Structure 1
Amino acid sequence: MTQEKLIVLNDDEKAKFLKSTKDLFFAVKQIHEWVESDSLTEEMAGILPSLIEGHFCDISKQLNYESALTKEKEERHLQIRNANQRIRELEKQLGEAKPLDGLPEQLKHLASTVSNWWNKHGFHHVSDEEFTEYGHYKARFCFMLDHISMFSETPVTDKISKKDRLKQLAAEGYEIVYNKYGRSPELLDNDNNRSRVIKLIQSRFPSAVVFKTRNHFDRSEGYFTIRDMEVYIYDLKDIVREA
Structure 2
Amino acid sequence: MITIAVVDDQAMVRAGFAAILAAQPDFRVVGQAGDGEEAVRLVNETHPDIVLMDVRMPVQNGIEATRAILQPRHPRPSPPRVIMLTTFDIDEYVYDALSAGASGFLLKDARPDELVQAVRVVAAGDALLAPSITRRLIEDVVTRRPAPPTRARLDLAGLTEREREVLTLMGRGLSNGEIASALFIAEQTVKTHVRRVLQKLGARDRVHAVIFAYDAGLVTPA
Instruction: Tell me the TM-score range normalised by the shorter chain.
Output: under 0.3
Greater relative contact order structure (CA < 8 Å, 6+ sep): 2
Normalised by the size of structure 2, how large is the TM-score? 0.23
Normalised by the size of structure 1, how large is the TM-score? 0.22
